[in-house]
Chains A and B, each alone.
Chain A
Amino acid sequence: MTTDPQHPDTPAHCARHGRRRRLAGAATLAVAGAALVGTGAFSSWGATASATGGLTAGSVSVGMVDANGGTFSTAVGNLLPADYFYRYVDVTNSGSAASTFTGTVTATGALAGSLQVDVTSCSVAWTTVSGASTCSGTQTVLASGTPTTGTPLTVAHGSIATGAGNAQHVRYKVTFASGASTSLQGATGSIAASVSNTVVGGTDRTGG
């Protein structure tokens, strides 16, 4: 066996081999450490919190309930000039929140333009005593006018809270014009009342 004088066989005499071994050892440790990290060998402490808020979609619903013993849709025949009749309706907000209601009264047929309509609300239910309708609470005139073809009478019902207990007690008085032309003898038509509300979202509900 020959020996290179620049490169003795004994480790003690080989500085280059020593550096290589140290580098190799360090590399081995580095690779092993990386492998440990990669395989999740380190223990970890974790905590998770959650909160749930109940969300419910709102609803919009309007009710017109016959009131004071009458029925709105009951036909009225043989009207003479200055004849009149009453109809009573409870307007209810069956939706999920108070909102503003508007209404219309429409007259159709040959009688459009000849039916005077007066819409009045009462803070309590209407009653009829001896044929006369009375309001023992506060009366409020909601609208008054003569609907014509294409131009209904607009009724401002205002804000109505939800629930049957907050119903708006509405009376419609319909009067056939005292000066109606005799050409209207035997004429037919109809009177229709509508109530609606519109709810638009887009409000900040952070607070509820």
Chain B
Amino acid sequence: MTPSRRRRWRRRAAAVVVAGGLLGPLAGTAPAQAAPWQGSATATAPVSTARWGSGLTLVAGAGSVAADRTSYSLSTTVATQAGYVDLANTGTVPATLSLDVAIGAVVGGAPATVCSVAWDTTADTCAGTTTTVTLTALVGRTAGSYTSPGLVAAGDAVHLRVKLGGVVSGVTVTATTVVPRPAADRTLG
């Protein structure tokens, strides 16, 4: 056999081996499997979570609310001043709202009062029920806190009036804890 014929023979033999290696697995001995039939059904429910929070809004009168709505400040003078502030439920679920009141002087009377409905800021009257925020005189200042007696619906508010005179000082109202409604069975919504 001439060298050239020997090379051709080797190439052909190699091609046969490669072809066998490729075709072998395809024609393997694994048993044929029946195609499976599958049935399926799916049901989907969208879910979303709540948000909870509170924010102060100056409704009328003296003083100002911080941009982040967490505090209200009123500088008092000898003359009596009043500020009407709402502590609103800015969340999406009913919640218990709380606020702190701090006065930089020892004062008496009832400088902070909550009305069960919106204050009539013109007549300075409450058509509902009033609740005095209990303040405690401390060294050089007066402070107290208030928590709504029940859940405040989303979007509703606690209506606070701060009214003070005869003392040169400052009043600060701060929105504090928000406790959303208790966990519940939500099957029906």
Contact = CB atoms under 8 A, between A and B. Distances in A.
Interface stretch (B36-44, B99-107, B161-169): B36-44
Given A201-B34, A202-B34, A188 B183 contact: no
A201 B44 CA distance: 31
B43 A192 contact: yes
Nearest to A187: B49
Nearest to B41: A64
A196 B40 contact: yes
Nearest to B46: A75
Contacts of B50: 77-80, 185-186
A51 B34 CA distance: 27
Nearest to B94: A78
Given A84-B186, A85-B186, A178-B183, A76 B39 contact: no
Contact of A78 (B34, B92, B187): B92
Chain B interface category by residue count: 20 to 34
Interface stretch (A1-9, A33-41, A55-63, A138-146): A55-63
Contacts, number: 146
Interface in A148-196: 174, 176, 178, 180, 184-196
A86 B188 CA distance: 9
Nearest to B44: A192
B183 A62 contact: no
A64 B44 CA distance: 11
Contact of A76 (B34, B41, B186): B186
Nearest to A203: B34
A70 B187 contact: yes
B33 interface: yes
Interface string B177-189: 0001101111101
A189 B48 contact: yes
Contacts of A190: 44-47
B182 to A, nearest CB: 8
A70 B93 CA distance: 23
Contacts of B186: 76, 79, 83-85
Q: Top 5 nearest A-B pairs by Cβ distance?
A: A82-B183, A196-B40, A72-B43, A78-B50, A202-B34
